[in-house]
A and B are shown apart, each in its own frame.
Chain A
Amino acid sequence: MIKLREFVMRIGGLFSKQRKDRELDDEIESHLQMHIEDNLRSGMAAEEARRQAMIKLGGIESTKEACRDQRGLPWLEMIWQDVRYGARMLRKNPGFTAVSVLTLALGVGANTAVFQLLDAVRMRSLPVAKPQELAEVRVNGGSKGFGVSSGPSCQITHPLWELLRANADPFSGIFAWGNDFGFVIGQGVGRHGVGGLWVSGDFFTVLGLTPTRGRLFTANDDRRGMGPEGVVISHAFWQREFGCAEDAVGKPLTINDKVFTIIGVTPPEFFGLEIGRNFSVALPVSARGIWAPGVLDRRNAWWLTVMGRLKPGWDVKRAAQYFDSISPGLFEATAPSGYSQSMVDTYMKFHLTALPAAKGVSRLRTDYEEPLWLLFGITGLVLLIACTNLANLVLARASAREGEAAIRLAIGASRRRLLGQSLCESLLLASAGALLGAIFAGVLSQILIWFLSTDGNPLTIVIKTDWKLFAFTGIVAVLACVIFGLVPAWRGCMVEPLAALKGGGRGLIGRRDGMVIQRALVVSQTAVSLVLLAGALLLIRSFWNLTRIDPGFRKSGLIFASVDFSRLNLPLDGIESVKKEFMEKIRSIPNVRSVASTTHKPLSQQSWTMAVTFNGEEERKSSAKITWISPDYFRTIEIPIQAGRDINETDRAGSSKVALVNQAFVQRFCGSTNPIGLRLRTTQEPGYPQADYEIVGVVADTKYSSVRQEIWPIVYAPATQDPNTGTWMQLAIRSSTDANALLPVLQKKIQAIDPQIGLGLSVLETEVRDGMVRERLMAWLSGFFGVLAMLLVTIGLYGVISYMTVRRRNELGIRLALGAQRHDVFGLVLRQGMTLAATGIVVGIAAALGITRALGSLLFLVKPNDPLVFAGTSLLLLTVAFLACWLPARRAARVDPMIALRHE
């Protein structure tokens, strides 16, 4: 207690120092006076009285010093003094300070931003109760293209879910959910699409969520055959659409033309279970039957994700064994009909497994985890360069201040004090850099998210600034501080005062020992930046390759329209003529060159595979992609027909079945035989009975679902012969002007035809570009950081060479005085710099050859050791190094020998 009191008083003593100093002066003065008076009284002479009093008191100044030390906290004051001194030094060198703080801030900021994103995508647990108890049940290895899948995270069909629900021994609670982005809210003009969730009745209960308002679903809300009843809305939706109104619960909400009643609002932090995709409304799984009768019984539609909360005593591994063991029964009971026997056999061999699900599912994670780690590595290297750069700058300054350090040592400063002061200066730089870096990080991560978001795929990631992040930034800053502060500080305080004072920078040849560290730093910097630049160039080249791929048809000016007639309530038998009429109307719109229908939008990740047996031979069964098209399709998307004929109006539902195939198909199945006239047979699938098609034409190869993939064998058959047509169709529209300009025109014209027609328009080129967002991100960012690294190295090299030149001024002056030519001196300095750069480049190439191999899976059509890239990088760095050395070399050559020699 007493100690604490003393400490508090001492802290108080740090303030109002002047007043206390004055009081102490007064007190000691009065002490002296009293003593002198006493002495006088005892008969001393005035002079002697004063002398004796002074002697008795001891040193006045040391007394005052002892009091001052007792009054405040000397160490704290010392630090404060160091901080002020450091700040003053930094203020006096604005250039140095700005470069240091900015490079550090960029390094720290970039690291933090990438870390934030990694954290959001990779590390954070779901905002639910005890997320670590959650496990997901899915088919081991996926459904392998069997049936229809709604997405990579949709692994379970509804009939399977119903069986799982009844056989969930490892779980204390089990639930199913699925994403749906086809929800349309409201009526008339205000209609708009939102993201939604299908959730089983126990979803919210098992996750342990409590409603913000109203109530959430219970098992009772999720019943087969239910009508439009309650809907749960997200907190964000409640805020957006209802302004957090208390009376929102109980209000009606129209979803896809059915009226539901809002029963509750989810808690604000709950965004759903897929990171990067938020939901607005949640409906019971069974409610899907309202719009799609029979969907709940479809045994080949994978649209649900099933998760459960593990019972105490169960872990994921044991749960996986359990689900694996019950798999045969489950798959036998749900075997879909309408497939060939071999397909059914494949299905029955599926096995379930369980996986940890604490972090939810994420398309982002699978797509971006590797690139993000890579980016993290890149930013780490940038930070490393920034740190070595600072070490170099500080080192140069410390050497320049050797004289000052020596004087301070000579007049009695302790080495510890000097070391502390240097460290203090570095810490100031580090904290300023880290602080600015934290601000940069906020901006940078927003830019990253903006980069990753596309029109078709808006991303909603909550970037949280949490303790983990602060710890991270802190560690980075402190590490940086230690790395670039300790070396020069140590060197600075190891100075021999006498030697340094004698030398005083006047030595004929700059002391070599200091330069060894600096040279090593420059070499390693150059090496690291070569690695970064080489990696960046590889990624940029890969992206360039990707954008230059010819898909086999003309992308630009192509618009795809997804058209839905279902709300017109037309009789199904008349739908074909309606579609035809509709296409005619589109064709008459100005700037529309041609229109055709197709079931497949190329390069958009969609796929429709059918098993085909060829020419009646059962054993040569294989699979091909199948696309149902209208006449004019090839003319519209501009695929040349290489042999035979196009589909035309004579190919009707009733006429003999025909098809066109692509070159890849011919090469794969026909060999040297003329494919025209051959027959291919499709295997039976639900809704698609076995059928024979006569090949009537061959078209050129095109990329199918992505530009990255190989060419697939494709079969094109007339849309009129598609056994399953409905109220939906997709049009390919060739614009004769800019597709983006035509888009709003189309929108308006189609609305004018009938506002009830559902419409989704997209420009193919934009979509394809958006599909390369990962490659673009990597190319841009690695390029940015590569250039940054190069700039840092330039600064570093320039700094070191200039500094060396300054130290060698006398020597250069003597050389010039003794008759050396100016270009000799120029060459001398230049050579010195270029040797360092070249060494760095050689080391860098060796390192890069090993490191770029890690890029392998991210590179497209370029090898990780591409010689062109490596040559280019080396050349670029050499050029930059030359420029960095040129200025100091020229300055050295212009040294006036007289001035240099006179200079002390």
Chain B
Amino acid sequence: MVSSMSSKADVWQGTLALMVLKTLERAGSLHGYGIARRIEETSAKLLSVNYGTLYPALLKLEQEGYISSEWGLSDNNRKAKFYQLTRAGCKQIEKETEDWEQMTAILARFLNPKIA
């Protein structure tokens, strides 16, 4: 994932996966292009994404069993590959959300010691 602040590719790799999962949770079933657009929109266009980096991430998530895919037809009748969450994916969202919240809470304490 290329972005304006992609000095930590690892972190971005992890966050991209969570973003994809979260997007799918909300949208149900979606194709790759749709996912990319949604992520862009959700981030209020703060993220500049090379859409191409999405596909290896999708493949990895599928291999891990968090999402599944099938071919279908898009709104304007174009053949496309649709992804949806699996049960394991749902659980993974819960887990990663917790991790992130904990992470941000810790970071927040450092950034703003007064809250603590």
Give residues in A with beta carbon < 8 Å to B: 2, 5-6, 9-10, 13, 23-24, 26-28, 30-31, 33-35, 37-38, 56-60, 62-63, 66-67, 69-71
Can you report 24 A-B residue pairs in the complex whose CB atoms are below 8 A from each other? A5-B64, A27-B32, A27-B81, A30-B33, A30-B78, A30-B79, A30-B81, A31-B51, A31-B80, A33-B78, A35-B51, A37-B76, A57-B50, A57-B51, A57-B52, A58-B50, A63-B55, A66-B52, A66-B53, A66-B55, A67-B55, A69-B56, A70-B56, A70-B59
**Chain A residues, CB < 8 A from B60:** 6, 70
The residues in B between 60 and 110 inclusive whose CB is less than 8 angstroms from any CB of A are: 60, 62-65, 74, 76, 78-81
Q: Provide the bound-state CA to CA distance between A57 and B50, in Å.
A: 5
Chain A residues lying within 8 Å of B2, measured Cβ to Cβ, are 58
Partner of B64, one of A6, A34, A35, A63: A6
What residues of chain A lie closer than 8 Å to B63, measured between beta carbons?
A: 5-6, 9-10, 13, 70
A-chain residues with CB within 8 Å of residue B53 when the two chains form the complex: 58, 63, 66
Collect the chain B residues with CB atoms within 8 Å of residue A5's CB: 63-65
Q: Report B-chain residues with C-beta under 8 Å of the C-beta of A62.
A: 52
Question: Could you list 16 further interchain pairs (A-B, Cβ under 8 angstroms) beyond the known A5-B65, A58-B51?
Answer: A2-B64, A5-B64, A9-B62, A28-B55, A30-B74, A31-B51, A34-B31, A34-B34, A38-B37, A57-B51, A60-B52, A66-B53, A66-B55, A66-B56, A67-B56, A70-B60
Q: Which residue of B lies closest to A9 (CB)?
A: B63
Q: What is the CB-to-nearest-CB distance from B36 to chain A, in angstroms, rounded to a whole number?
A: 8
Bound: A71/B33 CA distance, A:
20
Contact with A along B23-63 (1 / 0, CB 8 A): 00000000111100100000000000011110110011011
Contact of A2 with B65 in the complex, beta carbons under 8 Å: yes
- The answer to whether B80 touches A71, judged by C-beta atoms less than 8 angstroms apart, is no
In the assembled complex, the CB of B8 is this many whole angstroms from the nearest CB of chain A, namely 18
- Please determine whether A58 and B52 come into contact, CB atoms closer than 8 angstroms: yes
Measured CA separation A62–B31 after assembly (Å) = 20
- Measured CB to CB, the nearest residue on chain A to B50 is A58
CA distance A23 to B79 in the complex (A): 11
How far is the CB of B37 from the nearest CB of chain A, in Å?
8
Given the complex, which residues of B lie within 8 Å of A71, measured CB to CB? 59
CA–CA, A60 and B74, complex, Å: 22
Sort A-B residue pairs by CB-CB distance and give the 8 closest, nearest first.
A63-B52, A58-B52, A58-B50, A9-B63, A66-B56, A70-B56, A31-B33, A34-B33
Q: Which residues of the partner chain B approach A37 to less than 8 Å between Cβ atoms?
A: 76, 78
Most chain B CB neighbours (cut-off 10 Å) among A23, A24, A28: A28
A37 to B63 Cα, complex, angstroms: 30
**Residues in chain A near residue B33, CB distance under 8 A:** 30-31, 34-35
Point out the residues of chain B lying under 8 angstroms from A70, CB to CB: 56, 59-60, 63
B94 to chain A, nearest CB (A): 15
Instruction: Find chain B residues with CB under 8 A from A38 CB.
Output: 37
Q: How far is the CA of A27 from the CA of B71 in the complex (A)?
A: 9
Q: Are A26 and B79 in contact (CB under 8 A)?
A: yes
Instruction: Please judge, given known A-B contacts A57-B52, A58-B2, A67-B55, whether A31 and B65 are in contact too, CB under 8 Å.
Output: no
Docked pose: A56 CA to B39 CA in angstroms: 14
Of the candidates A10, A27, A60, which one forms a contact with B80 in the assembled complex, judged by CB atoms under 8 Å apart? A27
Residue of A nearest to B49 (CB): A56
* A60 to chain B: closest residue by CB: B52
B21 → chain A, closest Cβ, in Å?
14
Q: Closest CB-CB distance, B50 to chain A, in whole Å?
A: 4
* B51 in contact with A67 (CB, 8 Å): no
Please measure, in the bound complex, the distance between the C-alpha atom of A69 and the C-alpha atom of B63, giving whole angstroms: 13
Nearest CB on B from A16, distance (A): 15
Closest B residue to A24 by CB, please name it. Answer: B55
- Taking the closest CB of chain A, its distance from the CB of B70, in whole angstroms, is 11
When the two chains form their complex, are residues B55 and A27 in contact, meaning their CB atoms are under 8 A apart? yes
Q: How far apart sit A28 and B53, CA to CA, in the bound complex (Å)? A: 12
How many angstroms from the CA of A34 to the CA of B65 in the assembled complex? 27
CA distance A35 to B34 in the complex (A): 9
Provide the bound-state CA to CA distance between A457 and B33, in Å: 84
Q: Which residues of A contact B65 (CB under 8 A)?
A: 2, 5
The residue in A13, A26, A58 that gathers the most chain B C-beta atoms within 10 A of its C-beta is A58
In the complex the two chains form, what is the Cα distance from A380 to B33 in whole Å?
65
- For A34, the chain B residues whose CB sits under 8 A away are 31, 33-34, 74, 76, 78, 80
Question: A56 — which chain B residues lie within 8 A by C-beta?
Answer: 50-51
User: Which residues of chain B come closer than 8 Å to A26, judged between CB atoms?
Assistant: 79, 81
Residue of B32, B59, B78 with most chain A CB atoms under a 10 A cut-off: B59
In whole angstroms, how far apart are the Cα atoms of A670 and B53 in the complex?
Answer: 109
**How many angstroms between the C-alpha atoms of A66 and B64 in the bound complex?**
17
> What is the chain B residue whose CB lies nearest that of A59?
B52
Q: Which residue of B is nearest A5, CB measured?
A: B65
A832–B33 alpha-carbon span in the complex (Å):
71
A contact residues around B32 at 8 Å (CB) = 27, 31
> In the docked arrangement, what's the CA distance between A24 and B71, Å?
12
Tell me the nearest residue of chain B to A23, going by C-beta: B81
* C-alpha gap A34/B51 in the complex (Å): 13
- Separation of A26 and B63 alpha carbons in the complex (Å): 19
Tell me how far the C-beta of B13 lies from the nearest C-beta in chain A, rounded to whole angstroms.
11
Contacts of B78 in A (CB 8 A): 30, 33-34, 37
A30 CB contact (under 8 Å) in B31, B50, B56, B62: B31
* A67 x B59 contact (CB < 8 A): yes
Residues of B within 8 A of A60 (CB): 52
List of A residues within 8 angstroms of B50 by Cβ: 56-58
Cβ contacts under 8 Å, B64 to chain A: 2, 5-6
Q: State in angstroms the CA–CA spacing of A411 and B2 once bound together.
A: 27
A71 to B56 alpha-carbon distance, docked (Å) = 8
Nearest CB of B to A58, in Å: 4
Set of chain B residues within 8 Å of A31, measured between Cβ atoms: 31-33, 51, 80
A57–B32 CA distance with the chains assembled, in angstroms: 11
- Tell me how far the C-beta of B78 lies from the nearest C-beta in chain A, rounded to whole angstroms: 6
Closest Cβ of chain A to B10, distance in Å, is 15
Chain A, Cβ-Cβ closest to B57: A70
A63 to B80 CA separation, bound complex (whole angstroms): 17
Closest B residue to A66 by beta carbon equals B56
Q: Give the Cβ gap from A483 to chain B, nearest Cβ, in Å.
A: 41
**Which residues of A sit under 8 angstroms from B31, Cβ to Cβ?**
30-31, 34
Cβ distance B31 to chain A, nearest Cβ, rounded Å: 7
B51: shortest Cβ distance to chain A, in Å? 5
Tell me, in angstroms, the Cα distance from A38 to B41 when the chains sit together.
Answer: 14
Could you say which of B32, B51, B81 has the most chain A C-beta atoms within 10 Å of its C-beta? Answer: B51
Give the distance in Å from the alpha carbon of A62 to the alpha carbon of B51 in the complex. 12
- Cα A6 to Cα B56 in complex, Å, equals 13
Q: When chains A and B are docked, how far (Å) is the Cα of A35 from the Cα of B51?
A: 10
The answer to whether B80 and A30 have CB atoms under 8 Å apart is yes
Q: Which A residue sits closest to B34, measured CB to CB?
A: A34
Report how far A842 CA is from B25 CA in the complex, Å.
Answer: 82
